[in-house]
Amino acid sequence: MKAFILDRYKNKSLRFGDLPEPVLGSGDVLVEVHAAGLNPLDVKIRDGEFKPILPYRPPLALGHDVAGTVVQVGSGVRRLKLGDEVYARPRDGRIGTFAQFIAIDEADVALKPRSLSMKEAASVPLAGLTAWQVLVERANVKRGQKVLIHAGSGGVGIFAIQLAKHLGATVATTASTTNAALVKSLGVDLVIDYKKQDFEKILSGYDVVLNSLDGKTLEKSLEVLKPGGKLISISGPPDPGFARQQGLNWVLRQVLRLLSASIRRKARGKRVGYSFLFMRANGEHLSELASLIDAGIIRPVVDRTFPFDATNEALAYVETGRAKGKVVVTLK
């Protein structure tokens, strides 16, 4: 099968070539890829930034988001069948959506939202799951709470704003003037222009902050939280809880403990909680998101679509950080 292949870390250009078709396990489904979403995580893995945490061995196909059709099922598969239109974020260790086919554990797959095209559905899984796992699982956002979502026009921000509003929160976000109209259309209550305003001087008494930006923004976010509030970062630094969850060795656990020591100490000083979240594959969560999408409560935003043979160009665009919403490549 044709795929975009990472031959070695820090190679800015993936190789377009051939890989063997995936071998199906008893609990797997083989999905013919119609469209694949791109994420900053793909760039970071390509550049070797996640080697200590996700030790992939090149050559391998990259890609974490997929929408397509089930063309084969393993002997133990019970929920899905041939011809089902599905979407998924394959679990770590089994990525590879920049290819014609991918084998995915049935537990990681959900039926595609009926109201979305394949292109639109491919934009949802990783970002949508991240928003769900931050706001519903980790933060347990309740009606009447106040939530700050950084980078509201980004891939995760798009879904997080809409989900937080659905949960009944008052939502603020940071965005540029050019993206203000977009985030307002998603229902955000307050837009902070990060180029002209200091969010930490404007906001206070917040229950939850979702951070996807740099360390300076992370520390400033402590200032807007009330005692008992939660600062949840998807951009790091990883904390000891994440190290335990990943089953990392003792040395890496100590490294991550040190990396996050400063922000955890400052958070304790403010009487707020800090945690790092690295989203995980989950078909049930994708089914919940599909229901919200088909009900018109959440909608994806696709910035640009590229043909499959332009996957390297699509990754370069993602790397600029200028995308409003998600970037997708299409195969069919």
pLDDT tens, residue by residue, 256-311:
899 999 999 999 999 999 999 999 999 999 999 999 999 999 999 999 999 999 99
Q: How many helices (H) and strands (E) does the chain have?
A: 12, 16
Residues with Cβ < 8 Å from 137, sequence gap 6 or more?
none
Tokens (6 digits) for 308? 């499959």
Is residue 241 within a helix (H) or strand (E), and if so which, with residue range?
helix 240-246
CATH topology of domain 127-276: Rossmann fold (3.40.50)
Q: What does each C-alpha distance from 200 to 21, 174, 176, 207, 221 come to in angstroms?
A: 51, 11, 16, 14, 6
Q: Is 325 left (phi over 0), alpha (psi -120 to 50) or beta?
A: left
What is the distance of C-alpha 105 from the center of its chain?
Answer: 19
pLDDT tens, residue by residue, 124-157:
999 999 999 999 999 999 999 999 999 999 999 9
CATH class of 2-124+300-330: alpha beta
d(C-alpha 105, C-alpha 90), whole Å: 7
pLDDT tens, residue by residue, 46-79:
999 988 888 899 999 999 999 999 999 999 999 9
d(C-alpha 7, C-alpha 27), whole Å: 29
Is residue 111 within a helix (H) or strand (E), and if so which, with residue range?
strand 109-111
Say yes or no to pLDDT of 244 above 90. no
Q: Where in the chain is the domain with CATH 3.40.50.720?
A: 127-276
Q: Where in the chain is the domain with CATH 3.90.180.10?
A: 2-124+300-330
